[in-house]
């Protein structure tokens, strides 16, 4: 995670306003690529699951954001039983449940970081091998999110596919102290926060419209 954290720390140097919205993510093109070429997307996803570090930035963006255009995308699956087990330090249960959960959502940064934390504790079968795999996968996902925009102004937010991943970026990658408040600017959410031991307020901007639009179009 050192690489993605470094990227996050230097973002402040580019917090200038732009005349129009800027994004490296073209959802329409990604959707076309995924739906028209599912076998090609599956090959990219398999490379990611195998922790292939030769994936390019564009390929990784397709892997992460493209999953939202597959039938498997279900952001309402938040796996509360896994989080509850982790919170009570029942790491054996987390190790037992995390594999099947990642099969349902292999590009979840939230689940990837939980898996990494458990495997680094030596829990489960071949934990060292799995920890390395999850460390690379977590870094690839975080890198894709951090490269999706500047994050420091509303015209170029960080794009995520779930609110859980947004929280992981803030807590595990950026390393914030606490969230002070939030504001809504159109499709973009402004997160106000501080860093541990520092009361100064900072703001990062996130776009989670993939999840929001899914929830609107798939009511339960």
* DSSP percent split of the chain into helix, strand, coil, nearest 5: 55, 10, 35
Rounded CA separation 65/74 (Å): 13
CA 201 to CA 194: how far, in whole Å?
5
- Please give the pLDDT value at position 24: 67
Number of H helices and E strands in the chain, helices first, is: 10, 4
The two three-digit tokens of residue 80, written as one number: 């509360």
Q: 210 by DSSP, 3-state: which? A: helix
| Secondary structure letter of residue 171 according to DSSP | I
pLDDT at 3 over 50: no
Tell me what the mean pLDDT of segment 173-183 comes to: 95
Mean pLDDT of 182-199: 95
Q: Do the Cβ atoms of 106 and 48 come closer than 8 Å?
A: yes
Give 169's DSSP letter.
Answer: I
Q: Could you report the per-residue pLDDT of 118-169, keeping only the tens digit for each?
A: 999 999 999 999 999 999 999 999 999 999 999 999 999 999 999 999 999 9
Q: What's the mean pLDDT in 197-209? A: 95
Taking residues 42-63, report their average pLDDT: 97
Least confident residue range of 18-27, 94-103, 107-116: 18-27
Q: Distance between CA 89 and CA 154 in Å, rounded?
A: 38
The alpha carbon of 138 is separated from its chain's Cα centroid by a whole number of angstroms, namely: 8
pLDDT for the residue numbered 59: 97
**Mean pLDDT computed over every residue of the chain:** 90
**Could you tell me the pLDDT band of residue 17, with boundaries at 50, 70 and 90?**
very low
Phi and psi for 216 in degrees, rounded to 5?
Answer: -70, -40
CB atoms within 10 A of CB 25: 21
**pLDDT band with cut points at 50, 70 and 90 for residue 85:** very high
Q: Is the pLDDT of residue 18 over 70?
A: no
Q: What is the pLDDT of residue 13?
A: 34
Under the banding of pLDDT at 50, 70 and 90, the label for residue 27 is very high
Tokens of 175: 């390393």
State how far the Cα of 211 lies from the Cα of 67, in Å rounded to an integer. Answer: 11
């Amino acid at each position: 995670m050192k690489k993605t954290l470094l990227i996050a720390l230097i973002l402040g140097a580019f917090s200038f306003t732009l005349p129009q919205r800027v994004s490296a993510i073209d959802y329409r093109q990604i959707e076309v690529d995924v739906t028209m070429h599912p076998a090609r997307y599956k090959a990219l996803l398999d490379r990611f699951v195998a922790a292939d570090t030769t994936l390019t930035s564009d390929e990784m963006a397709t892997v992460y954001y493209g999953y939202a255009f597959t039938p498997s995308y279900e952001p309402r699956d938040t796996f509360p039983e896994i989080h509850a087990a982790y919170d009570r330090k029942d790491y054996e249960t987390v190790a037992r449940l995390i594999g099947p959960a990642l099969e349902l959502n292999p590009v979840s940064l939230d689940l990837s970081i939980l898996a990494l934390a458990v495997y680094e504790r030596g829990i489960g079968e071949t934990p060292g091998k799995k920890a390395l795999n999850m460390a690379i996968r977590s870094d690839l996902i975080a890198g894709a999110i951090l490269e999706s925009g500047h994050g420091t102004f509303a015209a170029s937010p960080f794009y995520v596919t779930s609110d859980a991943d947004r929280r992981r970026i803030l807590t595990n990658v950026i390393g914030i102290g606490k969230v002070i408040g939030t504001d809504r600017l159109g499709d973009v959410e402004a997160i106000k926060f501080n860093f541990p031991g520092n009361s100064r307020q900072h703001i990062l901007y996130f776009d989670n419209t993939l999840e929001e639009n899914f929830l609107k179009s798939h009511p339960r």
